[in-house]
Amino acid sequence: MVPLSWYLILAAALFAVGIFGVLARRNAIAILMGIELMLNAVNLNLLAFWRYLWSDNLTGVVFVIMVLAVAAAEVAVGLALIISIYRRRSTVVAEEIDLLKW
Amino acid sequence: MTFTEFAPERLLAILPESLLFLLAVAMLTLDLVWKPSRRRILGWLAASGVTLILLATLAFGQPPADEPLVLGGMVRWDWLAFAFTILILFTAAVTCLISVNVEGVGNRGDYYGLLLISTMGMVLMASSADLIMLFLAIETTSIPLYVLAGFLKADDKSTESGLKYFLFGAVTTAVMLYGFSLIYGFTGETNLYLIADAMKAAGLSLLLVGGIAVLVLVGFSFKIAAVPFHFWAPDVYEGAPTPVTAYVSTASKVAGFAVLVRVMMLAFPSIDAFWAAILAAMAAATMTLGNVLAIAQSNIKRLLAYSSIAHAGYALIGLVALSVFGVASMMFYLLAYVVTNLAAFAVVILFARAAGSDEIKDYAGLSRRSPWLALVLLIAFLSLAGMPPFAGFVAKVFVFKAAVDSGLIWLAFVGVLNSIIGLYYYLIVLKVVYLYRSEDDHLPVQVPRPYAVALAACTLLILVVGIVSAPWLDWSIGAARSLF
């Protein structure tokens, strides 16, 4: 069987890719995708831990379901906010959304 | 720690949450069935509803002597949660009152609905005792707040602040969740009251536990807007509708502190010196940065944003002291800060309605236009600056005393220095209000009734908490004992 640590390394790598996406991307939609990658890394972590170490109760799976549901709600709100900005300014590039500073 | 059997009277532990949910649904329904002209009283209705919930919680929601874990260990019914709940409910009631006459939000049922759902999340944050519940509570708080910040769809600044709030919030929450997943993975527990023992039993290295604590702290620092996760605060505070700004800067911060103190004390006692050192450094940086950057501001909402960042730093001092009195002084500080900041923001809203501006220079002549309003602003700003006999003064004395008691003299010193910087920029605003004249001196600023009620309540509390501080401190100490 694939050892647990491989899953954890994969999750950590996915998380790092997500953070990189958030920091380096300029398009708000792409930043949102980075956030989704980070949340999926969390889910992978939780599921791997649950399957290998704590499969005698359902806590880990319940946690994953909660994260999935909340992430869906969060993305819905995020996309709505992006659309409301796009309607006003015809751009979703983070650097051009700069009315508020200092 | 054992989980008690289900008993119907235990449901009283989530009495405020349940009632808030019903009130939110009522708001949404009334928005559908009422004609726009009648919706003007929605704000009054929401405010009186929250006040009734507050009274009901005071009467029936008091925790029993054994302070049990209820609902399968998801929620802790203790005095700490109770005290934070009362504070958050008060903030929500005042926020509803100061929203009534604000263009674009005051007569919208969905606005009050979102506000109340967010309040429900905050109350749950104060009492949740399980990582899953905690995560749900934080998101129930944050997601409506993102929408509220971007509520004015026709306003470029509002939509921008909504998006920025959302992006920062979602990223820090994801980092915090990664920490949660590691806690679960290494201990197999999600209940805060079992995690510390499970960590000890599993023999985790302190380095690993420290790393997890840092990940978790990222999410909490975002909620309380502590340096280095404060970037969002000025932008969001300036762009969001002003009642929402008042709400985010008070209730959301209070709820963040409730979570911070409970999780750090319960889940990471083995490395408390380590996280207290991190928080002490953050407190010093937060106070200094907030105060120094506030000096240069020309917009009053931005000035209050930086000032509220600085105040999170002062409150952190109490937590860093790691003692019963320290946590109590933190709660007392939050109480003083909340009533003061709400009064300040209520004046800002009223002035913006009359003058259409949030620029500090336009506040010239306010003392001639509306002497009473200027007086409230004077009391609020002097209390924020920490002058006696107002609440802010006593609160600062208590947190500095807690720091000195625990041997953190340098931190108390940094705090005192910062109070002096703070006094400077608060006085600059007061100078504009009292000494400068404007062409509109003869035009008084209208104060509609809900604002008069809110201002009177807040000003009264600033004075009462400042002058008769002993009962409030006893109350905080009683709540802080729940953790030790």
Which of the listed residues B212, B247, B267 is the one where a domain comes to its end?
A: B267
* CB–CB contact B235 A101 (8 Å): yes
> What per-residue string of b and e applies to B368-381 under the rule 16 or more CB within 10 Å gives b?
bbbeebbebbbbbb
Chain B contact probe: residue of A7, A39, A74 with most B CBs at under 10 A: A74
Q: How far is A63 from chain B (nearest CA, A)?
A: 6
Tell me which chain B residues have a C-beta less than 8 angstroms from the C-beta of A83. none
Give the domain CATH number at A92: 1.10.287.3510
Q: DSSP characters for B253-272?
A: HHHHHHHHHHHHHHH-GGGH
Backbone angles phi, psi at A93, to 5 degrees: -80, 125
* CB–CB contact A45 B182 (8 Å): yes
Q: For residue B464, how far is the Cα from the chain centroid?
A: 20
Better-scored residue on pLDDT, B441 or A11: A11
Where in the sequence is the domain holding A86, given as residue range(s)?
4-96
Better-scored residue on pLDDT, B441 or B346: B346
* Same domain, yes or no: B118 and B186: yes
pLDDT band at A89; cut points 50, 70, 90: confident
Give the percent of chain A with pLDDT over 70.
98
Whether the per-residue pLDDT at B1 is higher than 50: the answer is: no
Chain A contact probe: residue of B124, B138, B142, B178 with most A CBs at under 10 A: B178
For the stretch A25-70, pLDDT in tens is 989 999 999 999 999 999 999 999 999 999 998 999 999 999 999 9
* Same domain, yes or no: B294 and B251: no
* Helix, strand or coil, per DSSP, at residue B299: strand
Tell me which chain A residues have a C-beta less than 8 angstroms from the C-beta of B159. 81, 84-85, 88
Are B432 and B361 a contacting pair, CB within 8 Å?
yes
Distance of CA B238 to CAs A100, B135, B288, Å?
Answer: 8, 27, 21
Q: What is the pLDDT, as a whole number, of residue B484?
A: 84
* Same domain, yes or no: B301 and B235: no
Q: Give the residue on B whose Cα is nearest the Cα of A39.
A: B174
- Looking at the DSSP bridge assignments, the partners of residue B70 are B75
For the stretch B5-60, pLDDT in tens is 667 788 899 999 999 999 999 999 999 999 888 888 999 999 999 999 999 999 99
For the stretch B415-439, pLDDT in tens is 999 999 999 999 999 999 999 988 8
* CB–CB contact A84 B150 (8 Å): yes
Q: Give the residue on B whose Cα is nearest the Cα of A69.
A: B136
* CB–CB contact A67 B131 (8 Å): no
- Does residue A102 lie within any of the structural domains? no
- Does residue A101 lie within any of the structural domains? no
Q: Give the residue on A whose Cα is nearest the Cα of B237.
A: A100
Q: Which helix (H) or strand (E) holds B69?
A: strand B69-70
Q: Give the residue on A whose Cα is nearest the Cα of B176.
A: A42
Are B141 and B281 a contacting pair, CB within 8 Å?
no
* Same domain, yes or no: B238 and B375: no
User: Which residue type sits at B40?
Assistant: R
Q: What is the pLDDT, as a whole number, of residue B55?
A: 97
Which of the listed residues B267, B293, B327 is the one where a domain comes to its end?
A: B267
Q: What is the pLDDT, as a whole number, of residue B440?
A: 78
- Does residue A48 lie within any of the structural domains? yes
For the stretch B251-276, pLDDT in tens is 999 999 999 999 999 999 999 999 99
* Same domain, yes or no: B255 and B383: no
From the list B135, B184, B239, the residue facing A100 with the nearest CB is: B239
Whether the per-residue pLDDT at B317 is higher than 90: the answer is: yes
Under 8 Å CB pairs connecting chains A and B tally to 120
Q: What is the pLDDT, as a whole number, of residue A98?
A: 77
Whether the per-residue pLDDT at B461 is higher than 70: the answer is: yes
* CB–CB contact B162 A89 (8 Å): no
As a whole number, mean pLDDT of residues B149-174 equals: 94
What's the complex ipTM?
0.96
For chain B, how many structural domains are there in total?
Answer: 2
Whether the per-residue pLDDT at B4 is higher than 60: the answer is: no
Beta-carbon contacts of residue A75 (< 8 Å; ≥ 6 apart)? A32, A36
From the list B131, B150, B175, the residue facing A81 with the nearest CB is: B150
* CB–CB contact A66 B136 (8 Å): yes
Q: What is the pLDDT, as a whole number, of residue B314?
A: 96
For chain A, how many structural domains are there in total?
Answer: 1
Give the percent of chain B with pLDDT over 70.
99
For the stretch B176-226, pLDDT in tens is 999 999 999 999 999 999 999 999 999 889 999 999 999 999 999 999 999
Cα-trace Rg, chain A:
17
Residues of A with a Cβ under 8 Å from any B Cβ are: 8, 15, 18-19, 22, 28, 31-32, 35, 38-39, 41-42, 45-46, 48-49, 53-54, 59-60, 62-63, 66-67, 70, 73-74, 77-78, 80-82, 84-85, 87-89, 94, 97, 99-102
Where in the sequence is the domain holding B413, given as residue range(s)?
270-484
Whether the per-residue pLDDT at B373 is higher than 50: the answer is: yes
- Does residue A12 lie within any of the structural domains? yes
pLDDT band at B71; cut points 50, 70, 90: confident
Tell me which chain A residues have a C-beta less than 8 angstroms from the C-beta of B136. 66, 70
Chain A contact probe: residue of B177, B195, B212, B358 with most A CBs at under 10 A: B177
Q: How far is Cα B170 from Cα B34, in angstroms, rounded to an integer?
A: 35
Beta-carbon contacts of residue B338 (< 8 Å; ≥ 6 apart)? B87, B90, B91, B250, B251, B254
* CB–CB contact A77 B143 (8 Å): yes
- Does residue A32 lie within any of the structural domains? yes
Q: Is B162 within 8 Å of chain A by CB?
A: yes
From the list A53, A66, A82, the residue facing B188 with the nearest CB is: A53
* Same domain, yes or no: B329 and B467: yes
Which of the listed residues B267, B292, B324 is the one where a domain comes to its end?
A: B267
Q: What is the pLDDT, as a whole number, of residue B2?
A: 53
Matching residue, tokens 């005792």? B129
* Same domain, yes or no: B57 and B154: yes
Give the percent of chain B with pLDDT over 90.
85
For the stretch B294-315, pLDDT in tens is 999 999 999 999 999 999 999 9
From the list B156, B181, B239, the residue facing A46 with the nearest CB is: B181
